[in-house]
Amino acid sequence: MKRQTFLKGAIAAMALAAVPLAAAAQDTIKIGEINHYKRLAAFAGPYKQGIELALEEINGGGGVLGKPMEFIFRDDQGEPGEAIKIAEELVTREGVVMVTGTILSHVGLAISSHAAEKGYVYLAAEPLADAITWASGNKYTFRLRASTFMQAAMLAEQAAASGAKTYATIAPNYAYGKDAVAAFKENLLALQPDAEFVAEQWPALFKIDAGAEVQAIERAKPDAIYNVTFGPDLAKFVREGTDRGLFDGRTVLGLLSGEPEYLDPLGDEAPEGWIVTGYPWYDIQDGPGKTFVDAYQARWDDYPRIGSLVGYMTVQSIAAALEKAGSTETEAIRDAFEDLSLDTPMGPITFRALDHQATAGAYVGTTALQDGKGVMVDWEYKAGADYIPDDEYVKNLRPEGQ
């Protein structure tokens, strides 16, 4: 009898002890964050710090809907299958109210498809492939960054003004790279119908044979080169191309090539005179962009990368959607994201109801060497809304009813 009494008492005590833990769990709004933290650490590390800065600011101001926001970070190793498995666990076991993240487009497309199937909101923070909001778009997926089409259109505008007639392209052979080349061609030919593409190179992602690629492009003798490689592939391409004189006397356009994540590691080998999209954080002197730069440097004793900015804006976007929804229910969040407007370090942006694409823009400038490292000069911020095609164009690409 004494043993039974003891066990009943112990069980009751454990039940009582569990109440505060359960209550505490319900007192935060959980967001699932899936990314390639080990595989693409140069981007994902600053991205996470941007998220953490925004969380500290928002939670320090009272949180969202009267509760703190909590991000649950998971590493998918850059594998679509692993990302889907993690998303399933986050939604069914961790109680997240939505999912965000991913850098690589093929992983983002996998999570987007899973979100549509299972019915949860996914904010594609970074993946740029046009299919995410167009051909494979669905009612539960939204995208924050300027899409591949938008950034390619910005560079096509610069290319058309350069006087170049013949072009070679080099891009990684997966969703993002294919979309980037297709979008550049479409936009350039609309501006310059007599432009000719004389070579296309498609190295496998992060497996580039830079010497062979450079030789193939040189044989085509283009006036201009459109480069979509990034990360270690970009470094190898720049080194081989510089050594062999590939870039001499040619217009070179680089999608993402001006982003600190990819430009800074090149050091004094950074190319000069390339027309690029990127992030000239060091030259932003006022407004919300400067406020963000200062806050980031004060918090982390480091300078921001484009990933830092994207991470920060991701939290801002989710917080704004939750406040507009007034709820953590999936359909309320989904409805709130449509035509959601908010202020960011890039200025005001809106998530369009038509295709769930945000109107965040991009910085376009020219690379130069300063103090032994690459920077962007003569840059301009291009508003995303100015480079999104018209509604009829988008409707023809997006699945009906999505």
CA 209 – CA 273 distance, rounded (Å): 24
CA distance 124 to 112: 8
Model confidence at 402, pLDDT cuts 50, 70, 90, reads: confident
Average pLDDT over residues 11-18: 42
Question: Cβ(155)–Cβ(226) under 8 Å?
Answer: yes
pLDDT at 171 > cutoff 50? yes
Element (H, E) at 261: helix 260-263
Q: Which ranges constitute the DSSP H helices of 27-147?
A: 41-60, 80-89, 105-118
Q: Is the pLDDT reported for residue 7 higher than 90?
A: no
Assigned token pair, 102: 């991913």
Q: Report pLDDT for 399.
A: 85
Residues paired with 73 in a beta bridge: 33
Per residue in 275-330, pLDDT tens? 999 999 999 999 999 999 999 999 999 999 999 999 999 999 999 999 999 999 99
- Residue range 41-99, pLDDT digits in tens: 989 999 999 999 999 999 999 999 999 999 999 999 999 999 999 999 999 999 999 99
pLDDT for 2: 43
Average pLDDT, integer, range 207-226: 98
Mean pLDDT of 208-230: 98
Give the per-residue pLDDT at 88.
97
Residue 23 has pLDDT above 80, yes or no: no
Q: What is the pLDDT of residues 101-111, one digit of tens each?
A: 999 999 999 99
Residue 213 has pLDDT above 90, yes or no: yes
Rg (CA), the chain: 23
Q: pLDDT (tens digit, 9 = 90+) per residue, 128-139?
A: 999 999 999 999
Look at residue 26 in the predicted model and tell me its pLDDT.
Answer: 62
Torsion of the alpha carbons at 315, 319, 325 and 330, rounded to the nearest 10: 40
* DSSP type of residue 228: -
Considering the chain, what percentage of its residues have pLDDT values greater than 90? 91
Report the 10 Å Cβ neighbour count for 153: 24
- pTM of the shown model: 0.91
Give dist(CA 80, CA 122) in Å, integer.
Answer: 15
- Compute the average pLDDT of residues 215-236: 97
Evaluated on CA atoms 176, 179, 183, 185, the torsion sign reads positive
Residue 75, Cβ density class (10 Å: 0-12 exposed, 13-18 middle, ≥19 buried)? middle
**12 pLDDT more than 60:** no
CA contacts within 13 A on the Cβ side of 312: 24
* Predicted confidence (pLDDT) at residue 36 exceeds the cutoff of 60: yes
Domains of the chain from N-terminus onward: 24-147+285-360 (3.40.50.2300), 149-283+363-387 (3.40.50.2300)
- Cα angle 355, 361, 365 (rounded to 5 degrees) comes to 145
- Give residue 62's pLDDT: 96
Confidence of residue 117 (pLDDT cuts 50, 70, 90): very high
